[in-house]
Amino acid sequence: MAGVNQFSKRLRVLIVLASLFAHCLHALPDCPVCQGATVLIHEQTNDGARRGTNLSVWDGGLCGNSMFQEDSSFCPLCHYAYDASLLKWWCLTLEDRDGFKLQLNQSIYEFPVVDKTESRVVYSQQFITIDSIRHSLSFWCETDRAYFEEIRAYAGAKGLGLEIEVNRLENLSSVMVETMTMKELNAPRIRRLEELDLQKAN
């Protein structure tokens, strides 16, 4: 009987240790921008409050983007999402170019978007660490050769990558522009944004 009790105790200890080990394996990463806790994306729904917080994840559907599976997570404060299953990076996509907690690249911010677009104009950041951030902008517009020459000149002067798929659909073209910034340019704007929120509240 003593041997059975001893075995039972050891089994319980092993179960507890296994549970703790599994918890550690599935621990969610903290947000690299604000160091806040993240939540699982697949447990969240787009109840209206999520709309516009991160178009990479919630783009009008009820549930999150199916690309973000398994242990992919989301910061409820900064809205950056972590793709744990495929790309292993953080990303944030917005229509509001002022909505990023990390400074959006100035040349992307000031990119001359055509007056009338045929889609959302979306700005995006992706990074594995904030030492190196990819900033991008994309939209669709009517095919306009003169405008395309204008933005080619802008991209060349600013050192931006530019891809224009002319007439990808009938008389409609897609535009995507991107650049990278290094660590010294990626200072968080959290304090400044908090100050602006405080001013609005007052």
Task: Tell me, yes or no, whether 182 lies in a domain.
Answer: yes
Q: Do 77 and 31 contact (CB within 8 A), yes or no?
A: yes
H helix or E strand, kind and range, residue 197:
helix 190-201
Q: Do 126 and 105 contact (CB within 8 A), yes or no?
A: no
> What's the structural domain count of the chain?
1
Each residue's pLDDT tens digit, 54-98: 888 877 544 445 567 667 888 989 999 998 877 788 999 999 999
Task: Tell me, yes or no, whether 15 lies in a domain.
Answer: no
For the chain, where are the E strands, in sequence order? 39-40, 73-74, 81-82, 90-94, 122-127, 132-142, 161-169, 172-182
| Regions in the chain scoring below 70 on pLDDT | 1-26, 45-51, 60-67, 69-70, 183-202
Task: Tell me, yes or no, whether 71 lies in a domain.
Answer: no
Task: Tell me, yes or no, whether 164 lies in a domain.
Answer: yes
Q: Scanning the structure block, which residue is given the tokens 């009820």?
A: 62
Q: Which domain holds residue 183?
A: 95-202
Task: Tell me, yes or no, whether 65 lies in a domain.
Answer: no
Q: Is 22 left (phi over 0), alpha (psi -120 to 50) or beta?
A: alpha
Q: Cα separation of 177 and 182, whole Å?
A: 17
Please give the backbone phi and psi of residue 192, each rounded to the nearest 5 degrees, phi first.
-65, -40
Task: Tell me, yes or no, whether 2 lies in a domain.
Answer: no
Task: Tell me, yes or no, whether 128 lies in a domain.
Answer: yes
**Predicted model pTM:** 0.74
Task: Tell me, yes or no, whether 198 lies in a domain.
Answer: yes
